[in-house]
């Protein structure tokens, strides 16, 4: 039975066969976008994926890429899960504050209320405001923070790897530029990741001001 690889670094291939999305603090306590046991890919789902690739002859060449795949359990987003005033939290349920991320860092966050936390994994990044292009809706950002759905618009896998400032889905190597409105810069995704409007609450925590703007995951207009 294949086992999932383990990853120590923030900018290398992420361990998403055992972990879908979370705050994995692997380098001295700073946040990362990678693993979370809450959304692990169960063995039977892994077997189903292997069964679709066309027989045992393909296993040798495809086993390594498949080990990094992570699909959302709920393929259809049944939102809204985010709404005005809903706090953003990390994988431990801790609310995100203005000083959670340094410039250039990223983390996976979720809406605080449950159930539904697994249905809305969200990439939260922080850059200097001038680093964002006009494609990133400025009114949906705050203090350099911008948030986008983590569900790839191609096949519904997690955008769980990072190459510099490019965020990558390991399933089919879709690539997104979150400084440019999560635009597609490589691979087969047909459209950008939808942005989540956010702001700072009076308590100094990041909250949504509505749901994702656009279709989450596969489907929707290009």
Question: What integer is the mean pLDDT of 63-90?
Answer: 64
Percent share of the chain, pLDDT over 70: 60
Q: Name residue 97's beta-bridge partners.
A: 205
Contact 169, 189 (CB under 8 A): yes
Give the residue with greater pLDDT, 61 vs 200. 200
| CA-to-CA dists, residue 185 to 1, 45, 167, 188, angstroms | 35, 29, 10, 9
pTM of the shown model: 0.69
In 3D space, the residue among 100, 118, 88, 134 whose CA is nearest the CA of residue 32 turns out to be: 100
pLDDT value of residue 62: 31
| CA-to-CA dists, residue 204 to 9, 174, 186, angstroms | 30, 34, 36
Give the residue with greater pLDDT, 119 vs 164. 164
Contact 78, 196 (CB under 8 A): no
Domain architecture of the chain: domains with CATH: 71-208 (2.102.10.10)
Confidence of residue 221 (pLDDT cuts 50, 70, 90): low
Residue-wise pLDDT tens digits, 81-125? 899 999 999 989 999 999 999 999 999 999 997 656 666 899 999
Question: What integer is the mean pLDDT of 3-26?
Answer: 41
pLDDT value of residue 219: 77
């Amino acid at each position: 039975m294949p086992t999932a690889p383990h990853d120590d670094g923030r900018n290398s291939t992420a361990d998403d066969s055992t972990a879908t999305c979370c705050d994995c603090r692997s380098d001295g306590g700073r946040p990362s976008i990678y693993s979370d046991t809450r959304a692990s890919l169960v063995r039977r789902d892994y077997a189903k994926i292997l069964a679709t690739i066309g027989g045992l002859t393909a296993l040798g060449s495809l086993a390594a890429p498949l080990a990094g795949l992570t699909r959302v359990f709920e393929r259809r987003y049944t939102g809204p899960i985010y709404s005005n005033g809903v706090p953003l939290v990390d994988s431990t349920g801790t609310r995100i504050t203005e000083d959670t991320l340094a410039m250039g860092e990223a983390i996976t966050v979720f809406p605080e209320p449950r159930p539904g936390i697994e249905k809305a994994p969200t990439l939260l990044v922080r850059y200097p405001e001038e680093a964002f292009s006009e494609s990133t809706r400025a009114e949906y950002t705050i203090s350099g923070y911008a948030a986008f759905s983590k569900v790839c618009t191609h096949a519904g896998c997690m955008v769980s790897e990072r190459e510099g400032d490019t965020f990558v889905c390991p399933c089919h190597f879709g690539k997104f530029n979150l400084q440019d409105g999560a635009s597609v810069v490589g691979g087969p995704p047909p459209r950008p990741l939808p942005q989540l409007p956010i702001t700072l609450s009076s308590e100094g925590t990041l909250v949504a001001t509505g749901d994702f703007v656009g279709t989450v995951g596969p489907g929707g207009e290009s």
